[in-house]
Chains A and B, each alone.
Chain A
Amino acid sequence: MSTEVRRTSGEEVSRSLPPVAPERVLAGLALAVPVVTMLWVSSYAKLTPAFGGMPFFYWYQITWIPVSAVFTGAAYLLLGRDEKQRKAVRGGDV
């Protein structure tokens, strides 16, 4: 399986663009942040500070919905950039 990948993508490509590109790492982090934040329940299982009468527990989690969308959006843009770069390198090689 691995020889197949190397053959089709070419030695040159894998040397100029390693699989661990900064864009990919950042995208992975952006995706991990909301997941970890939400699983850390003890960090938000409290009533105060309340906001407009709404206990912390509720407004905090609701606020994280749009925030998580921003993180996922960032991952989308980062991976788009990464793919474009890879395509450009591949195109230049062929």
Chain B
Amino acid sequence: MSNHVNVPALVVFVLFFLLVTVLGFLAARWRKADNALHLHEWGLGGRSFGTWVTWFLLGGDLYTAYTFIAVPAAIYGTGAAGFFAVPYTIIAYPLVFLFLPRLWSVARVHGYVTPADFVRGRYGSKALSLAVAVTGILATMPYIALQLVGIQAVLDVLGVGGSGNWFMKDLPLFLAFAVLAAYTYSSGLRAPALIAFVKDTLVYIVITVAVVYLPMKLGGYGHIFDAAATKFSTVSPITHKPTGSMVTGPNAQWAYATLALGSAMALFMYPHTVTGVLAAKSRKTVRRNMALLPAYSLMLGLLALLGFMAIAAGVGKDVKGYNAQLAVPQLFDQLFPGWFTGVAFAAIGIGALVPAAIMSIAAANLFTRNIYKEFLKPNATPEQETKVAKIASLLVKVGALAFVLGMDKQFAINLQLLGGLWILQTLPAVAVGLFTRWFHHWALLAGWAVGMAYGTWQAYGIATPATKHFGGSTTLIPLIGQNGYIGLTAFVLNLLVAAVLTVLFRLARTPQGTDETSPEDYRAEAETPESTPGPVPAMAD
């Protein structure tokens, strides 16, 4: 790519990295816990985060480095179709406003750390809980890998680690990774919570500057959109179709809407999102954040426009097989002064570390609570749980690193697409379960299996000129005859199977399993008199 090293940018980048490393280790002492060996201390920051910390934490968690790279890259590549990320984030908050407070409350009363903990308690089913946990881990792993891909894109454009033998080439990534692993291990969720302050501040500064400064250099928004329109009207020599469009055509509207809806529903099923929410100290904190988090969406919407700016700036023009993921980093590199490029790259790089830390903690919590404690060592003490979770968080990250280095990057991206449609299949058990226990747990398990199989099979069949399988996430919806998001179709199928089987199981009077929750648990506040502050009774077993 670029053979020169952008020295001022590199210096600023490294300085910010050092700053967050120090913060990451100091975080262990921030809001120090009474009993640091409890899993809800390491894995949920003591369930003590107020509105602002939660806002920064969730913002840092949901709007990842990969988002910063991939959303504008999609706009750069296809135009309007990539903009579905905006309605997606608009829809997400009103939707989850309904069920996240209930999840928070029931988790608080019963000491649940993961969504699979809730499923176990609600349905009394080990199998269903295991399905939810495994799906969560599977969906999270490629997501962590993509955070590392985000760092790699930045390092590439910075001009470090581009050449030499494999070790020198990936050395910067190893370093970033080792630092991340070390402070997550020692500080748990407190580390990303504290670093999120730095990350989000940087991101806000960079985006604000970018949407004002870059159009000035590129001759205004009118010119930027004209340049994009010109690019998308040219016909591709391979497919003989235009490469993209400025608005979604009549045939693409179902795909646009179903992608937005399906992704919004999937967003809060991801274990790392649940971890961020359960770390909040009150039900009110959660609700308030649903109204405050759109501030990040606004930034995402503006950021998406950078894809068009990259077109107007001629980034990657006439480069054969250009990697669109580099469009935004190269845009910054070309148009910003060196030192500010460093700030922008630090925003992306640190933007990768925060979610990667939270994701690995979430996956570790799932493994510890729902596999280790459930199946391997039922009488594990809280200290043992915490120790296992710490080690699991390391293993998850090593796995992600091996993924990025050993396999095709495209494979990680495909898997992340699959991860989204997989995690959506846990929604009937988790989110629907928060409102009703009408569904039978075996029916839910069958629905989940059908949704997973159908979605994976459909996605496997999608070919593009670039890849033979998993080339996209939309295909023809049966009966409706329009293109739509596979994940959502699979979800509807999942729900249908679960409903039909539930009726059958009820007719056959199959045992329902025990429900350890009661209706009041779903409305519980932190300050209700019967619950003591700090650790809840269920945690102290």
Contacts and interface: CB of A to CB of B under 8 A. Distances in A.
Interface of A: 1, 4-5, 8, 30-32, 34-35, 38-42, 45-47, 50, 52-55, 57-58, 61-62, 64-66, 68-69, 71-73, 75-76, 79-80
A39 B301 contact: no
Identify whether the interface residues of A are mostly helix, strand, loop, or mixed: helix
B261 A66 contact: no
B301 A62 contact: yes
B242 interface: no
B185 interface: no
Interface stretch (B22-30, B142-150, B288-296, B462-470): B288-296
A61 B246 contact: no
B298 A66 contact: yes
Contact of B246 (A40, A57, A62): A57
Contacts of B89: 65
B247 A4 contact: no
Nearest to B308: A58
A2 to B, nearest CB: 9
Nearest to A42: B253
B260 A57 contact: no
24 contacts: A1-B519, A5-B519, A31-B94, A34-B90, A38-B87, A38-B90, A38-B91, A42-B250, A45-B247, A45-B250, A46-B247, A47-B246, A53-B221, A53-B222, A55-B246, A55-B247, A62-B86, A64-B87, A64-B90, A65-B89, A65-B294, A66-B298, A72-B97, A76-B291
A65 B298 contact: yes
A41 B97 contact: no
Contacts of B302: 62
Interface of B: 80, 83, 86-87, 89-91, 93-95, 97-98, 220-225, 246-250, 253, 256-257, 260-261, 284, 287-288, 290-292, 294-295, 297-298, 301-302, 305, 437, 518-520
B91 A34 contact: yes
B113 to A, nearest CB: 26
Given A39-B91, A45-B253, A46-B247, A57 B287 contact: no
B257 A57 contact: no
A1 B247 CA distance: 50
A73 B289 CA distance: 9
Contacts of A76: 97, 287-288, 290-291
Max count, chain A CB within 10 A of own CB: residue among B87, B91, B224, B437: B87
B247 A65 contact: no
Lowest 4 A-B CB distances belong to which pairs? A53-B222, A53-B221, A38-B87, A69-B294
Contacts of B291: 69, 72-73, 75-76
Contact of B86 (A5, A31, A46, A61): A61
A54 B301 CA distance: 13
Contacts of A57: 80, 83, 246-248
A72 B246 CA distance: 30
Given A76-B287, A76-B290, A53 B223 contact: yes
A66 B294 contact: yes
B422 to A, nearest CB: 23
A39 B261 contact: yes
Contacts of A47: 246-247
Contacts of B298: 62, 65-66
Contacts of B518: 4
A72 B290 contact: yes
A1 B253 CA distance: 43
A39 B260 contact: yes
Contact of A35 (B94, B222, B301): B94
B225 A53 contact: yes
Given A53-B225, A54-B225, A31 B97 contact: yes
Contacts of B253: 41-42, 45
